[in-house]
Structure formats: C-alpha cells, structure tokens
C-alpha cells in the first residue's frame, strides 16, 4: 500500500530557506582550532532575542534553553554588549539510535551596540528558566528634564 503525504508549501519553503541560510552561514566559516577561544571563533548557533526599551533602560531577553548559568558570559567593552556561551548535549547510549537532531549545540555568540543614552556601567544580568535577561539602564544625563518657565 502506498502512503500519502500531504504537501505543505510553507513547510517546504521553511526547509529551503533553512538550507540556504546554512549554506550562506557556513560558506564563510573557517575550521576553528580546538585551542581557539570563543571570542575568535565563529558561533555554532545564534540564540533568539527580544529587545525592549522602557523609560528607565533597555532589556535583552535571550532564549538559551539547556545552557547552564556557568556556561554563559556577558561582557561590555567599547560600547558593545557581548553574550556568549556553550551548549552541550549528552551523548546517547550505545544501544540507542539517533533519528533526528534539531536542537543546536556548541558555542553561541551575540553582539549588540549599546545605545548612546545607556550607561554601560549599569549592566545587570539574570538567568531563569532558560532565559537570560540583560538590563542596561539609561544614564541620568539622558533622561528628559522638565523645566518650569516663568512668564513675567
């Protein structure tokens, strides 16, 4: 008996764009030396982020499930915020066969330019339920000040 498979054009488009993205991304990659630091190597995967702004500052939420807090590093240098780390997966047992591996593993790296009105010395980071939250507060000098004008 023949199996019927429903054709889904969006699924096919998603598959093709993923393959194209991998091709473009990997074409410029060099093979990283095992002794090379993460700052000098190309990231293996890129975590998704949400960036929001409030009156008091900026917030970057990055989804990094399966990553231990000890494997994440947040740095600020020369107006650039860097989030980097490593996600490792346990190897399956010898008697198990891996059929599909869709979750990315290896090093990740994201860089963000800090806005001019942000205070780079005020950066705070927290990690909860696989989400890294980085807060960058705005500098006091950049906040709006209301001045009352006397009319004579």
Mean pLDDT of 21-42: 47
CA–CA dist 130, 66 (Å, integer): 7
Q: Domain containing 134 — which CATH number?
A: 2.60.40.790
18 within domain boundaries: no
Domain housing 83: 43-89+104-140
Q: Indicate the pLDDT class of residue 37, thresholds 50, 70 and 90.
A: very low
pLDDT digits (tens, 9 = 90+) for 76-130: 999 999 999 998 877 666 788 877 877 888 899 999 999 989 999 999 999 999 9
pTM for the structure as a whole: 0.64
Question: What pLDDT does 143 receive?
Answer: 60
Q: Residue 55 pLDDT > 70, yes or no?
A: yes
């Amino acid at each position: 008996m023949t199996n019927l498979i429903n054709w889904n054009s969006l699924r096919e488009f998603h598959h093709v764009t993923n393959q194209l993205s991998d091709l473009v991304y990997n074409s410029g990659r060099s093979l990283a030396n095992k002794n090379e630091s993460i700052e000098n190597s190309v990231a293996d995967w890129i975590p998704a982020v949400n960036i929001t702004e409030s009156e008091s500052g900026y917030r970057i939420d990055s989804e990094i499930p399966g990553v231990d807090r000890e494997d994440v590093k947040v740095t600020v240098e020369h107006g650039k915020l860097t989030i980097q780390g490593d996600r490792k997966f346990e190897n399956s047992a010898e008697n198990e066969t891996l059929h599909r591996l869709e979750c990315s593993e290896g090093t990740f790296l994201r860089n963000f330019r800090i806005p001019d009105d942000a205070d780079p010395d005020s950066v705070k980071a927290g990690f909860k339920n696989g989400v890294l939250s980085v807060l960058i507060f705005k500098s006091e000098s950049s906040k709006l000040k209301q001045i009352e004008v006397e009319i004579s």
